[in-house]
Amino acid sequence: MSSKPTPPDGLVIVDKPSGFTSHDVVAKMRGIARTRRIGHAGTLDPMATGVLVLGVERATKLLGHLALTEKEYLGTIRLGQNTVTDDAEGEITSSADASQVTRDAIDAGVAKLTGEIMQVPSKVSAIKIDGVRSYKRAREGEEFEIPARPVTVSSFAVYDVRDAVAEDGTPVLDLVVSVVCSSGTYIRALARDLGADLGVGGHLTALRRTRVGPYKIDSARTLDQLQAELTMMPVAEAATAAFPRWNVDAKRARLLRNGVRLEMPDVYAGAGPVAVFDPEGTFLALVEAYKGKAKSLAVFG
């Protein structure tokens, strides 16, 4: 009797197509990788394309720690129209002539939305309010408020400003932008808030995520490419790319494997998750410094 082949472990960097939910991509990958043990780090809206990091088998243990890293996006913001969802998926709720908005005013509005800011997420989002997803409340017509939360927009650049005419004949402006931000930042909320600041309304019409932490779009593969050849980044390589590396000797590796909390070098204090490797280059665990000792976050070897 032939035994079932063991599915490989690793990260898969997918170039998500538009129109797919992140869950749709996971479902498709379960078929491609022939395993149910697949998760993703950092959801992308159905309209958005680009980098979606999936973990297969043991690599799923890395995902929660990867989700907290910095993200980079390219997008298009339309000034002159608000929508229910703050993006092109939702119906238009208001229109205003944006043709008189100056580049100086746009730059000033963008500057206010750069740095450490308080952001109110879009109502049609996956955030839970009292245990119920915000989009569910919004679709049921509920009136509710989402509290603002701190996010960091380390870079918000406008590359191009294009005159356009909306379907209803309203003169609008389309801004081509790039954003580098912390996890949990909504780019469509930036579009909404920029439009509000300029007094004409705004929403996101296109979005492409080009980076999640160290994983960039040039290493991403489409679902069709992955169907033809499953390209996976081994867990050890993925951990080395994303976290500081701590090489331990054979004795410490043995102690760590036996559940002993190792003394951690001061250099890793406050560094967040650290990847531990034995002398043979085996990835042992993801740990973080806690009272000078290595507290295990996830064990691999």
Q: What are the tens digits of pLDDT across the range 163-210? A: 999 999 999 999 999 999 998 899 999 999 999 999 999 999 999 999
Mean pLDDT of 96-112: 97
Assess whether 86 carries a catalytic annotation.
Answer: no
Beta strand 274-277 pairing with 115-119: unpaired
CA nearest to 79, candidates 157, 172, 159, 162 = 172
Tokens 């033809």 label which residue?
A: 228
- Please list, residue by residue across 257-277, b when 16 or more beta carbons sit within 10 angstroms of its beta carbon and e when fewer do: eeeeebebeeebeeeebbbbb
What is residue 137's predicted lDDT score, i.e. its pLDDT? 65
Residue with the two structure tokens 């930036």: 190
pLDDT of residue 138: 65
pLDDT of residue 42: 82
Give pairs for 277-280: CB < 8 Å, separation 24+. 277/236, 277/245, 277/246, 277/247, 277/248, 278/247, 278/248, 278/250, 278/253, 279/247, 279/248, 279/249, 279/250, 279/253
- How confident is the model over 136-152, as a mean pLDDT? 78
Provide the mean pLDDT of the chain: 91
State pLDDT tens for residues 74-87: 999 999 999 988 99
Q: Which one of the listed residues 9, 45, 86, 87 is annotated catalytic?
A: 45
Q: Is the pLDDT of residue 3 over 90?
A: no
CA distances from 220 to 52, 225, 230 (A): 8, 10, 12
Contact 272, 266 (CB under 8 A): no
Categorize the per-residue pLDDT at 141 as very low, low, confident or very high, splitting at 50, 70 and 90.
Answer: low
pLDDT(282) > 90: yes
The pLDDT score that the predictor gives to residue 1 is 45
Cα distances (angstroms) measured from residue 187 to each of 39, 75, 134, 291: 23, 8, 17, 37
54 falls in which pLDDT band (50, 70, 90)? Answer: very high
C-alpha 168/C-alpha 174 separation (Å) is 15
Q: Are 106 and 98 within 8 A, CB to CB?
A: no
**pLDDT exceeds 70 at position 27:** yes
Mean pLDDT score, 143-162: 92
Q: According to the model, what pLDDT value does residue 9 have?
A: 87
- Of residues 273, 255, 245, the one with CA closest to residue 68: 273
pLDDT of residue 145: 80
- Compute how many other C-beta atoms are within 10 angstroms of the C-beta atom of residue 96: 18
The pLDDT of residue 247 is above 90: yes
Task: Tell which wins on pLDDT, 170 or 271.
Answer: 170
Predicted confidence band at 43 (pLDDT cuts at 50, 70, 90)? Answer: confident
Confidence of residue 5 (pLDDT cuts 50, 70, 90): low
CA-based diameter of the chain, in Å? Answer: 74
pLDDT at 2 over 50: no
pLDDT over 70 for what percent of the chain? 91
- List C-alpha distances in Å: 44 to 51, 196, 280: 9, 24, 37
pLDDT at residue 88 is higher than 70: yes
